[in-house]
Structure 1
Amino acid sequence: MSEEQREAVLDEALDAAHVDAAFADQLFGVVDALDTSVALRRAVTDPAASEDRRSGLVHALFGPRVGEGVSGFVADAARRRWTTGRTFVEALEREAVRAQLRAADDDGTLEDTEDGLFRFARIVASDRDLRTALSDRVVPLEVRQRLVSDLLAERATPATLALARRAVAARNRTFDQTVEAYVDLAAAQKNRVVATVRVARPMTDEQRQRLRAALSRQAGRDVVVQEVVDPDVVGGVRVELGDEVLEGTVSAKLDEAKRLFD
């Protein structure tokens, strides 16, 4: 079974579970505990140990510290075979993000959370000093997370704030890359995909709706249009949809997209 297949199994398990913001917080706590201990990661993913032994170890270690639903979810995940302890932790963290987004969906704030994350990531990406402040690992994590809280105070959904604070602790990606991955997961929550549209000038509501409809037809499912205004964009518009990029006049497909702006 590939890592992608294991992730799909975890997705199904999480989708079938009762989750809320507390579940997500506790699952992030398990992720942090595993992340800081090589020995612990090895123990719960040891291929030489039986499934029952790995699962039982998770219950013994985390059962007293988290809810039954979280410990059961992690224990079931530990019964799978993982190539490394690190991939196991990364898969659990992905599910913790999805749990946080599920909680936002349940309280009706998923779209606001998705939009808030995207816009905050753009702010960070465009501000060199802020980007440095959030990524400087010499500065304690708590201080960097407090900065995020100060910037988003009273202007973000609880899920936006929680995930933006979480992204500061990202290990292998930049802050804005991590948040963009969260945005993709938020869109997937509703079986949608994200199209990042860079335009030389802001779109009108009509242009945005027409572009969204055209891209949805192309993608075969609902598309979320995230707009970035960039006066230097080639040809006046650049559309990033999955692995496909429509830019300037270099693509015949762009002519169709650009007609939406006429």
Structure 2
Amino acid sequence: MRGEASCIADRTSRDAMASRIAALKDDAWKLGNEMFAITSTLDANPRLYRALTDPGRPTQDKVTLLHTILGNKVMPLTMQIMEDLVSREWSRARDINNAVEDFGVDAMMYKADADKTTLQVSIELAQLQSALLNLPVVRSRLSQEAAPVAARLDLIHAVIDPMGFHPVTIRLAEHCAANPRRRRYLETIQWLIGKFSRHMGEALVVVTTATPLTQKQIDDLIKIYSKKVGRPVHINSVVDPTVLGGMRVQVGDEVTDNTVVAQLENLQRKAKAGARI
């Protein structure tokens, strides 16, 4: 959980840079890759991100350190973003790493905007999420930070290569595999889906069923939840045969679970509670 200072720093910096990133169009791809590379560098070097966020260190010293590390290896906007980030206050040192990653994702979203494929990428991320639900061993291995990066990348490509995804989807999937960042892989994909939905001005509704939803069901859910939340919604349809039947709906932190497996688990809990009486 980020502290208030970090949330303000992250949001303010990204808002200030948003129009400039959007103006890059196709070059947003390069910016995104550079921000992901910097995220990995910071994650691997605690002394570095502490030095860049030290409140007792003059901002100019931090900027000088940035130029020493990055030099002419990055595009000008990447350096300007990093200079802006190190000039801000952070609740904890590691939060600057999260902000750098946020910029990387933002850049990839603007690249998708330039390609007019933002919705496509969001749908493909949902398809990846759905596919991984049925691959528990793969999910577990993708989250093992001790495993070699090359092995994790080979594993995710074995899943996504046959699916013919857009380059932005592939790059995001690769980033999550190469640098899990102390997160479960599936949770990171869900986080990305949420970011894309907010980027498109929609609320995200995650609907989990044992079999694919029909278009009529999706249309009905869009009507119901658009009215409920007061703005357009995007239905992220997740297919998970293990729920057996019924439907689980998540809107933000609110979950309504009417799946068969949830009902069976509830009956088991009641039976155990009754047996103890």
TM-score under structure 1 length normalisation? 0.87
Aligned positions of 1:219-258 closer than 5 A = 219-230=229-240, 233=243, 236-248=246-258
Contact 2:145/2:180 (CA < 8 Å) preserved in 1? Answer: no
Structure 1 CA distance, aligned partners of 2:144 and 2:258?
36
Structure 1 CA distance, aligned partners of 2:67 and 2:20?
17
Once superposed, what is the RMSD of the aligned Cα atoms?
Answer: 2.1
Contact 1:234/1:247 (CA < 8 Å) preserved in 2? Answer: no
What corresponds to 2:167 in structure 1?
158
**Could you report, residue by residue, the CA deviation over 1:53-74 in whole angstroms, capped at 9, with x for unpaired residues?**
3233223322321111101111
Give the ranges of 4+ consecutive aligned residues of structure 1 lying more than 4 Å apart after TM superposition.
230-235
What corresponds to 1:143 in structure 2?
151
Q: Percent identity?
A: 26
Structure 2 CA distance, aligned partners of 1:27 and 1:232?
37
How far apart are 1:107 and its partner, in Å? 0.7
Contact 2:5/2:91 (CA < 8 Å) preserved in 1? Answer: no
Structure 2 CA distance, aligned partners of 1:248 and 1:129?
26
What corresponds to 1:3 in structure 2?
6
How far apart are 1:200 and its partner, in Å? 4.5
Structure 2 CA distance, aligned partners of 1:24 and 1:83?
25
Q: Comparing 37-46 with 194-203, which one deviates more in the overlay? A: 194-203
2:31 to 3, 7, 23: 23
In structure 2, runs of 5+ residues without a counterpart are 260-277
Structure 1 CA distance, aligned partners of 2:5 and 2:147?
37
Alignment of 1:115 with 2:94, yes or no, is no
Contact 1:14/1:99 (CA < 8 Å) preserved in 2? Answer: no
Structure 1 CA distance, aligned partners of 2:218 and 2:191?
23
Secondary structure of 1:139's aligned partner: coil
Structure 1 pair 170–244 and aligned structure 2 pair: CA distance change class (3 A) = same
Aligned positions of 1:72-221 closer than 5 A = 72-153=80-161, 155-168=164-177, 169-221=179-231
Q: More relative contact order in 1 or in 2 (CA 8 Å, sep 6+)?
A: 2
Structure 1 CA distance, aligned partners of 2:147 and 2:58?
41
